[in-house]
Chains A and B, each alone.
Chain A
Amino acid sequence: MPTQAPWLSLAIWIPIISGLIVLASGSDRNVREARVIALIGSVAGLLVSLPLFYEFNSTTSAMQFVEMKPWIERFNINYHLGVDGISVLFILLNSFITVLVVIASWEVIQTRVSQYLASFLIMSGLMNGVFASLDAILFYVFFEATLIPMYIVIGVWGGPNRVYAAIKFFLYTLLGSLLMLVAFLYLYNKAGGSFSILDFHKLPLSMTAQTLLFIAFLLSFAVKVPMWPVHTWLPDAHVEAPTGGSAVLAAIMLKLGAYGFIRFSLPILPDASHALSGFMITLSLIAVVYIGLVALAQSDMKKLIAYSSISHMGFVTLGFFIFNAYGVEGALVQMISHGFVSAAMFLSVGVMYDRMHSRQIADYGGVVNTMPKFAALLMLFAMANCGLPATSGFVGEFMVIMGAMKFNFWVAFLAATTLIFGAAYTLWMYKRVIFGEIANKHVAELTDINGREFLVLGLLAVAVLGMGLFPFPFTEIMHASVNDLLKHVAASKL
Chain B
Amino acid sequence: MKALYLIVPFAPLVGALISGLFGRSVGRAGAHWVTILGVAISFIASCMVMSDVLEGNVFNGTLYTWLISGEARFEVGFLIDRLSALMMIVVTFVSLMVHIYTIGYMAEDPGYQRFFAYISLFTFSMLMLVMSNNFLQLFFGWEAVGLVSYLLIGFWYKRPTAIYANLKAFLVNRVGDFGFVLGIALVLSYFGTLDYAEVFKRAPELATQTMELFPGTPYLVITVICIGLFVGAMGKSAQFPLHVWLPDSMEGPTPISALIHAATMVTAGIFMVSRMSPLFEMSESALSFILVIGGITAFFMGLVAVVQYDIKRVVAYSTLSQLGYMTMALGASAYSAAMFHLMTHAFFKAALFLGAGSVIIAMHHEQDMRKMGGLRKYMPVTYLVMLIGAFANAGFPPFAGFFSKDTIIEALQASQTPGAGFAYWASLLGVFVGALYSFRLVFFAFHGEERFAKIDAHAHETHDKENTHGHDEHGHGGSPHESPTVVTLPLILLAIPSICAGWLIGTVVYGNYFGDAIFVSSGHEWIAEMGQEFHGVMGMMLHGLTSLPFWFAMLGLATAFYLYILQPDVPGVLRQKLAFFVRILDNKYGFDDFNQWFFASGAVKVGTGLWRYGDAMLIDGVMVNGTARIVGWIAGVVRWLQSGFIYQYAFAMIIGISVLLFIWVFDVTALLANWTR
A residues touching B (Cβ–Cβ < 8 Å)? 168, 172, 229, 231-233, 290, 293-298, 324-326, 329-330, 366, 368-369, 379, 383, 386, 388-390, 394-395, 398-399, 401-402, 404-406, 409-410, 412-413, 416-417, 419-421, 423-424, 427-428, 431, 434-437, 469-472, 475-476, 479
Given A329-B69, A472-B67, A297 contacting B175 (CB threshold 8 A): no
> Do residues A389 and B144 form an inter-chain contact, with CB atoms below 8 A?
yes
Task: Determine how close the nearest CB of chain A comes to the CB of B188; give it in whole angstroms.
Answer: 5
A116 to B5, CA, bound (A): 54
Q: Are A389 and B139 in contact (CB under 8 A)?
A: yes
When A402-B188, A435-B154 are in contact, do A294 and B64 touch as well, CB less than 8 Å?
A: no
Complex A-B: 14 CB contacts under 8 Å: A232-B615, A232-B619, A290-B614, A295-B607, A297-B611, A324-B70, A326-B72, A329-B69, A329-B70, A399-B67, A424-B171, A427-B150, A427-B167, A436-B163
B650 interface residue, CB < 8 Å from A? no
Residues of the B chain whose Cβ atoms lie less than 8 Å from the Cβ of A232 = 615, 619-620, 624
Q: Do B177 and A419 touch across chains, with their CB atoms under 8 A apart?
A: yes
User: Which residues of the other chain, A, contact B620 by a CB distance below 8 angstroms?
Assistant: 232
Nearest Cβ distance between residue A176 and chain B, in whole angstroms?
Answer: 12
Partner of A168, one of B144, B615, B624: B624
> Quick check: B624 and A471 within 8 Å, CB to CB?
no
Number of CB contacts from chain A to chain B under 8 A: 139
Which A residues lie within 8 Å of B147 (CB)? 383, 388
Query: Could you tell me if B69 and A413 are in contact, using CB atoms closer than 8 angstroms?
Result: no
Looking at the complex, which of B178-186, B342-350, B580-588 is the stretch in contact with chain A? B178-186
Bound-complex Cα distance A298 to B615 (A) = 12
* A296 touching B189, Cβ below 8 Å: no
Residues 185 to 228 of chain B near chain A (Cβ within 8 Å): 185-186, 188-189, 211, 213, 224
Whether B619 and A405, one on each chain, are in contact in the complex, defined by CB atoms closer than 8 angstroms, is no
Q: Does B167 contact A431, Cβ atoms closer than 8 Å? A: yes
**B158, A366: Cβ atoms closer than 8 Å:** yes
Residues on A with beta carbons closer than 8 Å to the beta carbon of B211? 409
Instruction: Find chain B residues with CB under 8 A from A404 CB.
Output: 185
**A483 and chain B: residue at smallest CB distance:** B70
CB contact between A297 and one of B144, B158, B186, B608 (< 8 Å): that residue: B608
Tell me the nearest residue of chain B to A236, going by C-beta.
B620
Residues of B within 8 A of A229 (CB): 619, 623
- Interface residue? B465 (CB, 8 A): no
C-alpha gap A412/B185 in the complex (Å): 8
B140 touches A417 (CB 8 A): no
7 additional contacts (CB under 8 A) given A297-B611, A390-B140, A427-B167: A290-B610, A297-B604, A424-B603, A434-B157, A435-B157, A472-B66, A472-B67
Are the C-beta atoms of A325 and B69 separated by less than 8 Å?
yes
Residues on A with beta carbons closer than 8 Å to the beta carbon of B606: 293
Q: Separation in Å of the B630 CB from the closest CB of chain A?
A: 13
How many chain B residues touch A (Cβ–Cβ < 8 Å)? 52
| Closest chain B CB from A240 CB (angstroms) | 15
**Beyond A398-B181, A401-B181, A471-B67, is A423–B174 a contact (Cβ under 8 Å)?**
yes
B523 within 8 A of A: no
Closest chain A residue to B181 by CB distance? A416
- Residue B482 at the A interface, CB < 8 A? no
**Residues of B contacting A435 in the complex (Cβ-Cβ under 8 angstroms):** 154, 157-158, 163
Cα–Cα distance between A383 and B211 once the two chains are bound (Å): 34
Query: Is the CB–CB distance between A470 and B189 below 8 Å?
Result: no
Residues on B with beta carbons closer than 8 Å to the beta carbon of A168: 624
Bound form: Cα–Cα A401–B183 in Å? 11
Beta-carbon contact of A431 and B70 below 8 Å = no
Q: A469: which B residues are within 8 A, CB to CB?
A: 66
- Which residues of B have CB within 8 Å of A369? 158
- CA A144 to CA B170, docked complex, whole Å: 43
Given A290-B614, A294-B615, A416-B178: A326 touches B69 (CB 8 Å cut-off): yes
Most chain A CB within 10 A, of B69, B144, B184, is at B69
Which chain B residues lie closer than 8 Å to A330 at the CB level?
69
| In the bound complex, CA of A44 to CA of B144 (Å) | 38
Cβ-based interface call for B68 (8 A): yes
Minimum C-beta distance from B4 to chain A (A): 22
Residues of B within 8 A of A325 (CB): 69-71
- Are B607 and A416 within 8 A (Cβ)? no
Complex CA distance for A469 and B140, rounded to whole angstroms = 10
Taking A412-B185, A424-B603 as contacts, is the C-beta distance between A399 and B623 under 8 angstroms? no
Hey, which chain B residues are within 8 Å of A417, CB to CB? 178
Q: How far is the CB of A301 from chain B (nearest CB, A)?
A: 15
Asked if B644 CB lies within 8 Å of chain A CBs, one says no
List chain B residues, Cβ under 8 A from A386. 174
Question: Do A293 and B610 form a contact, CB below 8 Å, given A329-B69, A423-B170?
Answer: yes
In the bound complex, CA of A460 to CA of B599 (Å): 34
Instruction: Name the B residues within 8 Å of A297 (CB-CB).
Output: 604, 607-608, 610-611
What residues of chain A lie closer than 8 Å to B157, measured between beta carbons? Answer: 368, 434-436
Among A326, A410, A428, contact of B70 (Cβ-Cβ < 8 Å): A326
Q: Is B475's beta carbon under 8 Å from chain A?
A: no
User: Nearest CB to that of B616 among chain A residues?
Assistant: A232
Contacts of A298 in B (CB 8 A): 611
The residue from B150, B167, B175 contacting A428, defined by CB atoms under 8 A apart: B167
Bound-state Cα–Cα, A412 to B189, Å:
11
Given contacts A389-B140, A436-B158, contact A293 B607 (CB under 8 A): yes
Q: Whose C-beta in chain B lies nearest to the C-beta of A397?
A: B181
Q: What chain A residues lie within 8 Å of B69 (beta carbons)?
A: 325-326, 329-330, 399, 475
Among candidates B68, B139, B175, residue contacting A475 with C-beta atoms closer than 8 Å = B68
Chain B positions within 8 Å of A419 at CB level = 174, 177-178, 181
* A402–B603 touching, CB < 8 Å: no
Minimum CB–CB distance from B604 to chain A (whole Å) comes to 5
B163 touching A431, Cβ below 8 Å: yes
Q: Restricting to B593-633, which residues have a CB under 8 Å from any CB of A? A: 603-604, 606-608, 610-611, 614-615, 619-620, 623-624
Say whether B143 faces chain A, with CB atoms less than 8 Å apart.
yes
For B163, the chain A residues whose CB sits under 8 A away are: 431, 435-436
Q: What residues on A are CB-neighbors of B170 within 8 Å?
A: 423, 427
B56 at interface, CB cutoff 8 A: no
Say whether, besides A296-B607, A420-B171, A412 and B182 are in contact (CB < 8 Å): yes
- Which single residue of chain B is at the shortest CB-CB distance from A403? B70
Cβ of B572 within 8 Å of any chain A Cβ, yes or no, is: no
Q: Which residues of the other chain, A, contact B643 by a CB distance below 8 angstroms?
A: none
Which residue on B lies nearest to A398, using beta carbons? Answer: B181
* Alpha-carbon distance A204/B342, docked complex (angstroms): 64
Measured CB to CB, the closest approach of chain B to A403, in angstroms, equals: 8
B478 interface contact, C-beta 8 A: no
Task: Point out the residues of chain B lying under 8 angstroms from A437, CB to CB.
Answer: 158
Q: Closest residue to B183 on the A side, CB-wise?
A: A405
B455 to chain A, nearest CB (A): 25
Do A470 and B611 touch (CB < 8 A)?
Answer: no
Contacts of B154 in A (CB 8 A): 435
Residue of B nearest to A369 (CB): B158
Q: Measured between C-beta atoms, what is the minimum distance from A431 to chain B in Å?
A: 5
Instruction: Count chain B CB atoms within 10 A of each CB in A290, A326, A379, A419 and give the residue with the most.
Output: A419
The verdict on B160 contacting chain A, using a C-beta distance below 8 Å, is yes
| A416 and B174 within 8 A (CB) | no
B70 to chain A, nearest CB (A): 3
Min CB gap B73→A, angstroms: 10
Over the window 53-83 of chain B, the binary record of Cβ atoms lying under 8 Å from chain A Cβ atoms (1 yes, 0 no) is 0000000000011111111100000000000
- From residue B148, how far is it (CB to closest CB) to chain A in Å? 11
B151-181 interface mask toward A, CB cutoff 8 Å, 1 = contact, 0 = none? 1001001101001100100110011011001
List of A residues within 8 angstroms of B182 by Cβ: 401, 405, 409, 412-413, 416
Residue pair B611, A406 in contact (C-beta under 8 Å)? no
Chain A min CB distance to B191 (Å): 12
Q: In the assembly, what is the distance between CA of A221 and CA of B150, in Å?
A: 39
Query: What A residues does B140 contact at CB under 8 A?
Result: 389-390
Q: Assess whether B66 is in contact with A406, with CB atoms less than 8 Å apart.
A: no
A290 contacts across to B, CB distance below 8 A: 610, 614
Distance A488 CA – B178 CA, assembled complex (angstroms): 33
Closest A residue by C-beta to B154: A435
